[in-house]
Amino acid sequence: MSSMVDFLGIEEKVSTSVSAERLRKLEELTDEDVMQLTREDCRRYLKEKGMRRPSWNKAQAVQQLLSLKSLCDPSPASSGAAKRSPSPPLDEAPAKKPMAMTSIDLKAAAAVDAANLTMFYDGAVSVFDDVSPDKAYAIMLLAGDVKSWPSINVAANTNKVVISSSELPQARKASLQRFLQRRREKTAKEAASKGNSNKSPCRGESSGKHASDATDPATSPLLTEVSS
Amino acid sequence: MASMKISRRWIHADDDPDSINSRLPDDLLKIIFSRLGDNQDHASVARVCRQWRDAESATREKITVNFSYAVSPGYVIDRFGQLRALKIKGKPRASDFGLIPVDWGGYGGPWIAALALARARSLYGALASLHFKRMEISDEDLALLAETFRDALQVLKLEKCSGFSSLGLESIARSCRDLRVLSLDESDIEDKGSQWLRELIHSCASLEALNLSMTGLELGDIRLVEEIVSSSKLKSLKLNDLEDPSRNRRLDLRQSSLQELGFCGLIQVSLPSSLSSFSGDLQLAMEPNLASALTSLDLLYTTANHEQHLEIIKGCRNLQVFKARDIIGDVGLELLASHCKGLQRIRIENMRQQEQHGFSISNSGMLALAKSCVHLQSFSMYVHDAANSSLEAFAESCPGLLDFRLGILETAPDMAEPLDAGVQSLLQRCPSITKLALYLKEGGLTDRGLESIGRLGQQLKWILLGCLSDSDTSDRGLVSLARGCSNLRKLEVRNCPFSDAAIVCGIRGLPLLRYLWFQCYHRVSDRHFALLGPEWRTELMPEFYSVLCYRTLVSGSRSDHPPSVRPMLGGGGGGG
């Protein structure tokens, strides 16, 4: 009988279900192979890996299996696979109805540096280290009902690639930008031609840096359109 | 009627002799449905059964297609045959800020072609008003439009559109002689001469409103303006830059019946007494009578300095709509608040990169506004600092708020406190807010704040979140927001630490969501978006570091996208 541990790909344990002889191991299949599977085979793999209710829709079942496969693939990011050892009582309590649980109760450990995932299943607790937020959510997506999540608190985003505010100058409405730029040029031209210091209401910057804002993931789409 | 038995078997309504449908003739259904005001009610009614849907479709007079790729032109035209007005929106709103590839799409051509076909079959006879927003329209499209509608067209608005020139406008001017409203507001138009305008003045005697503001068109001579105004029934005239090389002509509009006027340029103007709305370049305070008669003032594009702004504001008493840049400062905002207690809509922009005037709006300015302008409905402001006190003041004093957009300047100092409590108060006490934008900085909002938006934001239809930091917010916050905002239609997210998996979860949990745009992802996976299902399309724009997801009735991905837009794997797409 498969266990939650297999579902996460943490353990090397191979499913002991009857169909194992007929089906190759999921790990041996390539993505292309998966896409060629029949719907029933997809569902069988998914159930074997612990999925409660795989989709009846073939295309969706294929997608779910691909997602599951990516979770099981050993890679640096999915270091969950690397830590196989400390897996508490879960494997001892499998004999009951396989996926009769009605909700997954997920709570993250409060560890400061690690991104842990704690799962409660069938009265037992498992803690998995270094599960990235993406993996955690992929797991939860596959498990089913969004509404059944109590509190999700995957600590410490280990992949901090989000652009910080300082690199992200605010966007300006393009039309307003063009107007002010045009006016700056005009007042500069007038000042130059007249020769006297025409006190213009706005002193602008000398460089047209705003031109690069278009492709700069910088400018903030904000607030305009007070009109209907 | 009172004795009518309503059948419980709705799905067999057509068969059941006791059902309401066999008692009410179609014509009566149509009369009833034509009394429905809200488009939401129309949509609900249309879901009951086929008969009701057909009756309702025949009574719909105005349709807005919120996203042109959500539905095919054929579908709209086949279903709603009695339209009087059609509005279609194309590009994502982010394109106003240069955040969408220029050639992204949103072509008006297919829509105009479909309308032409319908009219050639003598359908769509009632359609008189067309409004395209953020769409690509060519001169050929406009020629076809002119040819198709001719004198039937009364209202044409090409707002924030591009792809056409003044030659296309010439064909409109020549054929559509009954035009009452022509608006080209903020469209990017190639200027090939002002012949089109002469044609317009000559042909369209019924013109009541002409809006050319922020277009690429040069009108040249102010004499042309005088001609427009004197020869027509214009009530609203908004122009672009006006030039007067001689610098000593005075544009005399005192005899006109203009209610709305807008222009830029250093021109001396004598304003009409009928004026209630002004936008553009104002250097001096208006005459006191004129100033106090104004209900709408837009100083976004003025060259006035700070002191001049104050002088202008001092004269105003009855403003309901006010727009300006933050050069007015707290002083200006306080002045406005004390003079114009009837203010309903305010927008303050900031252009730090283009002008450095040293003024800004702070929390105390916002407090003054909140306490004084209790009729505020629409608030949109870039500020230097914001604290919970001002949001709580809005919550307490302005229960009529519909639209609340707050932006903190990135040059501002660190936020003293997160705005969780203020946002919560706002949503609790202003039940009519349907649009909310919080563009903050690090420390501006925490997961608790996001959770309270979810908990209290059942009425929200549009949300923009920007620059939330990963030390206070996380996927958890987004998911709890998505769990609660059951009415959300559009979501825009920029520079926030949410993973694509959480965003997909959010989308799946929101029953009415039809559109999502987010920028600054750290990783996107096709497989996550595949879980959205076949009615969603996802487009990745790697150069812009952004993703666009939208619901559509059209199957397959669109064929008119440029190389910079990459459609992602669909949900129900491959493998039957």
Task: Tell me the C-alpha distance between B258 and B440, whole Å.
Answer: 41
By the CB < 8 Å criterion, does B492 face chain A?
yes
Q: What is the mean pLDDT of residues B56-72?
A: 92
How confident is the model at residue B223, as a pLDDT?
79
Does residue B143 surpass a pLDDT of 80?
yes
Identify the residue with better confidence: B461 or B3. B461
> Binning pLDDT at 50, 70 and 90, where does residue B244 land?
low
Per-residue burial over B551-572, b if 16 or more Cβ lie within 10 Å, else e, is bbeeeebeeebeebbebbbbbb
How confident is the model at residue A73, as a pLDDT?
61
Query: Which of A41, A58, A60, A63 to mutate to test binding with chain B, by most B CBs within 10 Å of its CB?
Result: A63
Does residue B112 surpass a pLDDT of 90?
yes
By the CB < 8 Å criterion, does B497 face chain A?
yes
ipTM value, please give it.
Answer: 0.74
Q: What is the mean pLDDT of residues B298-318?
A: 92
**How close A95 gets to chain B, by Cα (Å)?**
32
Which residues contact residue A90 at a Cβ distance below 8 angstroms, ignoring those fewer than 6 apart?
A3, A4, A5, A121, A122, A124, A126
Query: Which of B89, B93, B99, B382 to mutate to test binding with chain A, by most A CBs within 10 Å of its CB?
Result: B99
How confident is the model at residue B374, as a pLDDT?
97
How confident is the model at residue A228, as a pLDDT?
35
Q: In this complex, do A220 and B466 lie within 8 Å of one another by their Cβ atoms?
A: yes
By the CB < 8 Å criterion, does B483 face chain A?
yes
Contacts of B504 in chain A (CB under 8 A): 141
Q: What is the mean pLDDT of residues B155-170?
A: 96
Task: Tell me the C-alpha distance between A56 and A100, whole Å.
Answer: 19
Most confidently predicted of A27-41, B39-53, B72-86, B366-380: B366-380
Q: In this complex, do A153 and B476 lie within 8 Å of one another by their Cβ atoms?
A: yes
Single out the residue of B58, B53, B28 nearest to residue B43, CA to CA.
Answer: B53
pLDDT digits (tens, 9 = 90+) for B493-524: 998 999 888 999 888 889 899 999 999 877 78
Does residue A165 surpass a pLDDT of 60?
no
pLDDT digits (tens, 9 = 90+) for B419-438: 999 999 999 999 999 999 99
Does residue B335 surpass a pLDDT of 90?
yes
- Which of A45-54, B111-120, B401-410 has the lowest average pLDDT? A45-54
By the CB < 8 Å criterion, does A62 face chain B?
yes
Identify the residue with better confidence: A130 or B92. B92
> Binning pLDDT at 50, 70 and 90, where does residue B115 land?
very high
Q: In this complex, do B520 and A168 lie within 8 Å of one another by their Cβ atoms?
A: yes
Which residues contact residue A211 at a Cβ distance below 8 angstroms, ignoring those fewer than 6 apart?
none
Residues of chain A with pLDDT > 90: what percent? Answer: 0
Contacts of B534 in chain A (CB under 8 A): 59
Identify the residue with better confidence: B464 or A192. B464
Query: Which of A172, A215, A222 to mutate to test binding with chain B, by most B CBs within 10 Å of its CB?
Result: A222
Does residue A152 surpass a pLDDT of 80?
no
Q: What is the mean pLDDT of residues B342-357?
A: 88
Q: What is the mean pLDDT of residues B157-179?
A: 96
Does residue B46 surpass a pLDDT of 70?
yes
Task: Tell me the C-alpha distance between A154 and A150, whole Å.
Answer: 13
CA torsion sign for B369, B353, B183, B407 is negative
